[in-house]
Each structure stands twice: as C-alpha cells, then as structure tokens.
Amino acid sequence: MIPSNYYSSDAWQAKRKKYLKKKCAWCDSPENKDNPLTLHHKHPIQTRYEIAKEITKDGFNGNFDKEMDKRLADEERVYLEAGAEDLITICRKCHFIWEQHRKRLCPKCKKVYIKYDEQKRCADCFIQQHKEKPDGRKEEVKKRVRKTKQNRKGKWNPEIKSIHKELDEKPAPKGRRYKVTFGAKNPDCKRKRVTVYASQLRYLTRILKKKKKIILDKKAS
C-alpha cells in the first residue's frame, strides 16, 4: 500500500524538483497561484477489482489471494519507482477533472474535455479531419455499392440485360416496384430475378413468353 505521507516525503519532493515542467502538458497553462502545477502518473495503480478481473481473464488456477497480493505489490512498486517516462506535468484543474471524470483536453484543439480512453479527439476535430482527408474505406464501400447496383441491373448477365433493354423502349415506368423471379416451367431450371414497375409487368410477360420463360414469383418491394 502507498504510504500516506508519500507525497510529502523527500523522495517525492526530489522527483517534483527533477521532473516538474513550467507549463501544463494538456492545456499549456503556466503555473500560477490559483492553478498550481503538479506531477501526474500516466499509469495509475489498478484497483483490487481491476486486478481481480485481469486474474480471472488470464484463467489463473492457483491461490487467488496470493496472486492478488503479488500483482498489487508490483503495481505499487512501479508507481513508486516512476521516472521521466511515467510522469507528466499537469495543472490542478486538469488533474481534478481527470481524477473525478477520467477526462482530459482534446490534444488537437485543446478546448473540449473528452474521455481519452475511448476517443483520441473531440467530435469537431474528428469531423474536420475527415473533411480534409476523405475516408478511403468509405470510398471503397461506395464503390462496392455502385458495382452491386450495376450487377443488379444485369450488366454482367446478358439475358437480364436484354430484358432491361427491351423494357427501356416501352413507356416510362410507373406504379409500384416488383421483384420478379422468372424461369422455365421445369422446376430444376436456374431461376433469375429482375426488378420492374407495375406498368412494365405486361410487357415483361410478353418478353418472357418469347424466351419460353414464365413468371414464377412476384413480390412488391
């Protein structure tokens, strides 16, 4: 357990003198009378509850209490031996908000306090970044959607393509849309699907009759 007088000890005061900077690492505010600077551990000691969750997750089968004491002692040792890489200088305000709400200033705009464990920047900075740099993954998804729509129109299927071509020569499509499944009367034949409007249904029946096919199913979409 961390000694109650640790922060008033000579060891801690020596660390403050050695590692304390002249301004807050999060909000850039200099030290002043109302908002003094303090050293902050980047990795606080885990609670017994958090350590217990880790032990359970690791599937430990030995003496639970001994393992708990061992890990807690390791956490305290690392905390007490913290050096330059483990300590940062922050002001009293930032330290209070972090300890109470686990929030820190957005590192980009330094205006909004965010839950830094879950998000690395505030919503405004995130939106601005994606405006400047379009998301490549989103573009890829859009490309795939366009390709799928083209395939549905029969771009790669000659029979469906020819049906669409004949329907395009008829009057403009009107009414409800239908997903029509068609094929030969033989139940073992391969079935295909085409999307048409109510005004095109009778023309579709004629086209399929020429191809010796029939409408097997029709669903409003």
From the centroid of its chain, how far is CA 109?
A: 21
* Entry field: residues in the chain: 221
Give mean pLDDT, residues 131-140: 59
The tens digit of pLDDT for each residue in 142-192 reads 666 666 665 555 455 677 777 777 777 776 777 888 888 878 777 666 777
Model pLDDT, residue 140: 64
Cβ atoms 179, 193 nearer than 8 A: yes
Of residues 119 and 59, the one with the higher pLDDT is 59
3-state secondary structure (DSSP) of residue 93? helix
Give mean pLDDT, residues 187-199: 76
Model pLDDT, residue 1: 60
pTM score, two decimals?
0.47
- Closest by CA to 115, choosing from 129, 100, 127, 133, is 100
Q: What percent of the chain has pLDDT over 90?
A: 0
Model pLDDT, residue 105: 87
Q: In whole numbers, what is the pLDDT of the chain averaged over residues?
A: 78
Residue extents of the structural domains in the chain? 6-132, 154-220
Is pLDDT at 208 greater than 70 in this prediction?
yes
The tens digit of pLDDT for each residue in 30-45 reads 888 888 898 888 777 7
Q: What percent of the chain has pLDDT over 70?
A: 81
CA distance 104 to 22: 19
Model pLDDT, residue 144: 63
Model pLDDT, residue 202: 81
Model pLDDT, residue 188: 67
Can you tell me which residue has the tokens 């409007």? 197
